[in-house]
Structure 1
Amino acid sequence: MTDRATADGWRTGWRHRDWLNPPLQVVRDQDDLLVTAAEGSDFWRTTSYGFIHDTGHTLLGDFPDGTAAEVRFVADFSAQFDQAGLLIRAEEEQWIKAGVELSDGVLQLGAVVTRGVSDWSVAPVPEWSGQEVVVRASRDGDAVTVRARSGDEPWRLVRVAPLPPGLLRVGLMCCAPTRAGLVVRFTDLRLVEADDSLHP
């Protein structure tokens, strides 16, 4: 896999990207971005819950084939379904969100893949609570490979999922489905070279 040091300058200028569903507040703190999510914000389509939510906050830019997007943020969550990570979006019914969220009192690493309807997969990472987390999504043709880690630990494979070829957009994402007052500290956002292969 390619090291994040090959960044092309896409990181914390935060320019040349547009908000889908602007958050309540965005504050620059030196190179960090503090994003305040609206209560009830979320991305989900139908499965199990029966509702469609397309109200989460995401700062999107182009996602060329052969690149990877990385976002870093502090996983400081306290309410059910507080979440942050990456969103990769083709259109309203085709997208992937990947990151960490608090679910039933435990911090979880996971992804939601949506092609008309959403699915959801998670794995517990309680040791990441309060830590800086990095989520990376590599685009290779019709496949998106998501990995994540905290600190200097090895990358964990989160998901390999299909998305249609053509125009995709990607960017940081946060949602607060159940409460007001969630502020997420994003510390980095950049494009790097896509991972060399699916397996190390």
Structure 2
Amino acid sequence: MVKTNNWQDGIWTNEPKSCTLQGDQLIVEAVEGSDYWQKTMYEFQHDNGHALLAPWKDGEAVEISFSLQGITELYDQAGIMLWHSPTVWIKAGIEMNDGVPHAGAVVTDGFSDWSLSPVAEWAGETVTFRASRMKDAVIIRARTQSHPWRTLRVARFPYESGVQAGPFVCAPTRAGLKVVFTRWITTGPDKDVHTDPPLL
């Protein structure tokens, strides 16, 4: 089962500066200062990022693909948002840190945490992030056209209803960030944390 989601079916948590359909692609420009973060270490609460969300059923996986070409400045970020409420969510994607793209996840339940790993070899490619629900958790993976699936995180996400998912983009430190999203699909869930999903 593979279902391609229409960009028009999602609802923005916060409207981006611009959003343009170009064929099957969605080009999103983030508002300067946009981000998602809750309290930890920095003490601030940011909830003005841009996430395009649609219902996400239990027993499904969701994949978001986008180009890394526009992600060049400190804390530029894009990826997949898993949403239960304004204080309970997970964002997983690419974030520019110290001049190097990093694959990572921010898991938030009242407070945020951040895990990340450098992926300099992914620069300039199109990347796919995948989230699959399994029991009380979500398995988060990522790959590019030329690099295989990499498991990034297994995080608690026990919610059976009221869950949404979709692409997100944030530009905490600058204006002008544009991200080209190329695909948004839902499909069957992962079989196991140790078994790579198929390439779709």
* 1:7-46 superposed matches below 5 A: 7-10=2-5, 13-46=6-39
Q: Does 1:132 align with 2:162?
A: no
Q: Does 1:158 align with 2:152?
A: yes
Runs of 4+, deviation exceeding 4 Å? none
- Say if 2:4 and 2:184, in contact at 8 Å, map to a contact too: no
User: What letter matches 1:14 in structure 2?
Assistant: W
Counterpart secondary structure, 1:180: coil
Structure 2 unpaired stretches of 5+: 196-200
The structure 1 residue matched to 2:140, chosen from 120, 140, 146, is 146
Cα displacement (A) at 1:153? 2.4
- Say if 1:90 and 1:164, in contact at 8 Å, map to a contact too: no
1:109 and 1:95 map into 2 onto residues whose CA distance is 17
Cα displacement (A) at 1:9? 3.1
2:76 and 2:52 map into 1 onto residues whose CA distance is 17
1:177 counterpart residue number? 172
Q: Does 1:100 align with 2:100?
A: no
1:17 and 1:144 map into 2 onto residues whose CA distance is 21
Counterpart secondary structure, 1:127: helix
Counterpart secondary structure, 2:121: helix
- Say if 2:60 and 2:132, in contact at 8 Å, map to a contact too: yes
Cα displacement (A) at 1:140? 2.1
TM, length-normalised to structure 1: 0.94
Structure 1 unpaired stretches of 5+: 1-5
Aligned pair count reads 193
* 1:103-122 superposed matches below 5 A: 103-122=97-116
Aligned-residue identity in percent: 45
TM, length-normalised to structure 2: 0.94
Counterpart secondary structure, 1:170: strand
User: What letter matches 2:126 in structure 1?
Assistant: E
- Say if 1:60 and 1:169, in contact at 8 Å, map to a contact too: yes
1:3 counterpart residue number? none
Q: Does 1:192 align with 2:187?
A: yes
